Structure 1
Amino acid sequence: MGPLELFYDLVVVALVAQAAHHLAEHLTWRGIGEYSAVFVLVWIAWLNGSLHHELHGHEDVRARVTFLLQILVMVPLGAFIPGAGGAEGAAFAVAAGVLFAVLALLWLLASLRDRPEYRRSSRLYVIGTAVCAAVLIVSAVLPAAARVWTWGVLAAAYLACFAAVVLKAAPVALAALSVTHALIERFGLLIIIVLGETVTGVVSGLAAEPVDALTLTVGLIAVVVGFGAWWTYFDFAGHREPRRTPAATVQWMLTHLPLTAAVAAMGAAMVSLVEHAHDPSTAPATAWVLCGGAAVVLISTVLVSATLQAWRTRQGLYRPLSRTCAAAALACLALGAARPAPPVLALILVLIFGIPWGLAVAYRLRHEETVAQE
């Protein structure tokens, strides 16, 4: 992965940060809905740009121009994200529509150079992306609430169509779309960068309040919670190759969406957790977003792991992992419902993440020689 792709990913994460910061200030059901709709659209655009470069890009002037063109649209798009659910929703819709129109154009130009066996899949993808762009632009005239719902339904439909195209693609086209080491690195890097939002959330919470021993303790424990999300994903799923089947490819790619969104949402909730460190119980929205996000991270990690080649070759690790993470996710939801004081909630989350850590350590100690060979 070169500096060009890294620059592009950092721009995308700037948009994610805008969405997370808005969620941190609006921890309500409406705020969660707006965050989800905006995040999914941004993630789909990132997936589009990443796949386009993976399949058709090179380290040349053309690739630099295509990335620059996308970035020039993303910058105003990011500026409209904080008000996407309200006054600036129309501007966000138009900017997002323009971004998807640019992506449709890039895929169209690439399809003109495709071999005949790729053209059907390419044509369907171009049409779907162009329709998405048109719907986004038209949504600018809708009322705010209807507009956000439209984005959510549109994103779900787009992802369903993407999955259908991949699952029904000709074998030769599917081979071209297989998950490469470069793509694995891109997805892993995005997770790493988004994990920075957990640290940003803690720092923002500490900066907003006078720092005393309890506030600092909650902040530092919250950082360990973010570290737990990193450890869980990369210890079991990150930087590993999925099986080369249509179903595994789709599941591997799309499961990274809720995983990434949950990590960023956890960072947003950590702002409130630290700011209210002295409260006798954690605020309901803060507890549910933080603990629910942790549950999504655990379940998504299992779903990504289930697509890996190692899922079948290392059943002694991954089968217990799936059961352990499911139980840990339920424990996270129970913790969110209980809403203990912020330091207690953060500490218990660390302990919950520690369960799969302990599983991994125990497995490696029992199979030290086998793991070393792998």
Structure 2
Amino acid sequence: MTSRHEQWARLRRRLWQPPRAHGEQPRERVVGPLELFYDLVVVVLVAQAAHHLAAHLTWHGLGEFAAVFALVWIAWFNGSLHHELHGYEDARGRSMFLLQILVLVPLGAFIPEAGGARGVAFAVDAGVLFAVLAVLWRLAARGDSPEFRRPSRMFVTGTAFCAVVLAASAALPAGARVVTWGLLAVAYLAGFAVMIGTATPVQAAALTVTDALTERFGLFIIIVLGETVTGVVDGLAHEPTNALTLAVGLVAVVVGFGAWWTYFDFAGHRRPRPTRASTVQWMLTHLPLTAAVAAMGAAMVGLVEHSHAGRTPAATAWVLSGGAAVVLCTTMVLAASLYVWCLERALYRPLARTCVAVAAVCVGVGAVRPAPLALGIALVLLLGVPWGLAVAYRLSHEEESAAADRR
């Protein structure tokens, strides 16, 4: 008969499993509600950054947004990758996510004034968050086989370095502090790219993007796209309701919808090729893409609030048009890392050239600064150009296939 001690030991092992070793993550799994809840918490921080940008559409405000957003995205990416490689849906996994959430919540409260009065608090809290992540990676590294010790050591060291620099930045003046955050984000991403780029074939195979990770990134984009709707609603809530204001708001929603179809029709929910370069390209390109979507949501507040203006405010026009341009270009950079880029060269090569050209026109429209309604309609039409090209290609391809079948 099994003793009570053995029963408790078995239960403990089931609820508190050690981190999964490198290379043992399941290739086929479904993203769970725990991960979705974590993503929603992170998007609250993204919303805080976007709302602050909406009220500070200046070059300084945009720079602060970029630095803060990059740190938040890197923390999300770091925690998500840890769970993908080493996590289980057990009590330990839940506790680790909860620990991160408990640190993220006050961090979100500090974001609106991260570049000013609450910059010290943001720096310290962000340092604690990265310290927690470093500990999680260190615990996972204890069970590594020899071939994975080097990348694990690099990941632990890089994450711990971020924690130290963030905490130390609390002693800097506000301006220097934000610059330090931006440089730290660039250094971290560069280090990650080097780590993947120098990985051995065995190490690279363990870091191959799975269907679950593809789904996770896509779901995060969807949640952030909600910020475009939030921006419109915020703008409408602070303005008298009339036909023009409502028209501008609804057109702005369609612009956000255009960002959705651009990403998901051409790159979303597709796995990259299993090469080191494609993996890095696919993962890191999601950062500017997600930031652009969030910035577009921030700009939509100003677009709706100035519905009756003869010309769109310069900052609003530049951020909204520039965000659309970044979405178009980064989507094509993502597409270049996919299997489909090679399988459907006849579509994706002209599509990439079209997206770059349309992105340039988007920037030009932003420079002209037409009235808000005209700007919104122009962006909707421009975002529809690549989609129209893809539809025309599909139709002609189907007609050719049908003709070949008849022959």
**TM-score over 0.5 for the alignment?**
yes
- For residues 108-147 of structure 1, what are the structure 2 equivalents within 5 Å? 108-147=138-177
Counterpart residue identity of residue 174, structure 2: A
Q: Is the 8 A contact 1:23 1:265 kept in 2?
A: yes
Q: Whole-Å Cα distance in 2 between the matches of residues 33 and 232 of structure 1?
A: 25
Q: Whole-Å Cα distance in 1 between the matches of residues 304 and 377 of structure 2?
A: 13
Residue-by-residue CA offset, 1:16-58 (whole Å, 9 max, x unaligned):
0000000000001111011000000000000000000000011
Q: Quick one: which of 33, 46, 60 aligns to 2:63?
A: 33
Aligned counterpart, 2:106? 76
What TM-score comes out, normalization by structure 2 length?
0.90
Q: Is the 8 A contact 1:198 1:266 kept in 2?
A: yes
- 1:227 paired with 2:257, answer yes
Aligned counterpart, 1:326? 356
Identity, % of aligned positions: 72
When residues 296 and 370 of structure 1 are mapped into structure 2, their CA distance, relative to the original with a 3 A threshold, is farther
Q: Whole-Å Cα distance in 1 between the matches of residues 357 and 287 of structure 2?
A: 22
Counterpart residue identity of residue 158, structure 1: Y
- For residues 140-289 of structure 1, what are the structure 2 equivalents within 5 Å? 140-289=170-319
Post-superposition shift, 1:145?
A: 0.2
- 1:103 paired with 2:133, answer yes
Post-superposition shift, 1:365?
A: 1.1
Q: Whole-Å Cα distance in 1 between the matches of residues 98 and 75 of structure 2?
A: 14
Post-superposition shift, 1:173?
A: 1.1
When residues 220 and 154 of structure 1 are mapped into structure 2, their CA distance, relative to the original with a 3 A threshold, is same
Counterpart residue identity of residue 214, structure 2: I
Q: Is the 8 A contact 1:70 1:102 kept in 2?
A: yes
Q: Answer with 1 or 2: which has the greater Rg.
A: 2
Q: Whole-Å Cα distance in 1 between the matches of residues 351 and 79 of structure 2?
A: 33
Q: Whole-Å Cα distance in 2 between the matches of residues 299 and 291 of structure 1?
A: 12
Counterpart residue identity of residue 298, structure 2: A
Q: Quick one: which of 109, 116, 123 aligns to 1:86?
A: 116
Q: Quick one: which of 42, 56, 67 aligns to 2:97?
A: 67
| Count of residues in correspondence between the two structures | 372
Unaligned runs of at least 5 residues, structure 2: 1-30, 403-407
Q: Whole-Å Cα distance in 2 between the matches of residues 339 and 367 of structure 1?
A: 39
Residue-by-residue CA offset, 1:234-286 (whole Å, 9 max, x unaligned):
00000011000000000000000000000000000000000000000000000
Post-superposition shift, 1:316?
A: 1.2
Q: Whole-Å Cα distance in 2 between the matches of residues 150 and 370 of structure 1?
A: 56
Q: Whole-Å Cα distance in 2 between the matches of residues 56 and 241 of structure 1?
A: 20
Counterpart residue identity of residue 16, structure 1: V
Q: Whole-Å Cα distance in 2 between the matches of residues 366 and 63 of structure 1?
A: 49
Counterpart residue identity of residue 288, structure 1: W
Residue-by-residue CA offset, 1:329-362 (whole Å, 9 max, x unaligned):
0001101110000000000000000101101111
Counterpart residue identity of residue 135, structure 1: V
Aligned counterpart, 1:11? 41
Q: Whole-Å Cα distance in 2 between the matches of residues 370 and 264 of structure 1?
A: 41
What TM-score comes out, normalization by structure 1 length?
0.98
Post-superposition shift, 1:367?
A: 2.2
Q: Whole-Å Cα distance in 1 between the matches of residues 239 and 89 of structure 2?
A: 46
Aligned counterpart, 1:363? 393
SS in structure 1 at match of 2:88? coil
SS in structure 1 at match of 2:311? coil
Aligned counterpart, 2:5? none
Counterpart residue identity of residue 307, structure 1: S
SS in structure 2 at match of 1:367? helix
Q: Is the 8 A contact 1:364 1:371 kept in 2?
A: no
SS in structure 1 at match of 2:327? helix
Residue-by-residue CA offset, 1:33-90 (whole Å, 9 max, x unaligned):
1100000000000000000000001111111011001000000000000000000000
SS in structure 2 at match of 1:81? helix
Residue-by-residue CA offset, 1:174-205 (whole Å, 9 max, x unaligned):
11110000000000001000000000000000
Q: Whole-Å Cα distance in 2 between the matches of residues 324 and 173 of structure 1?
A: 37
Q: Once superposed, which parts of structure 1, at least 4 consecutive aligned residues long, lie more than 6 Å away? A: 369-372
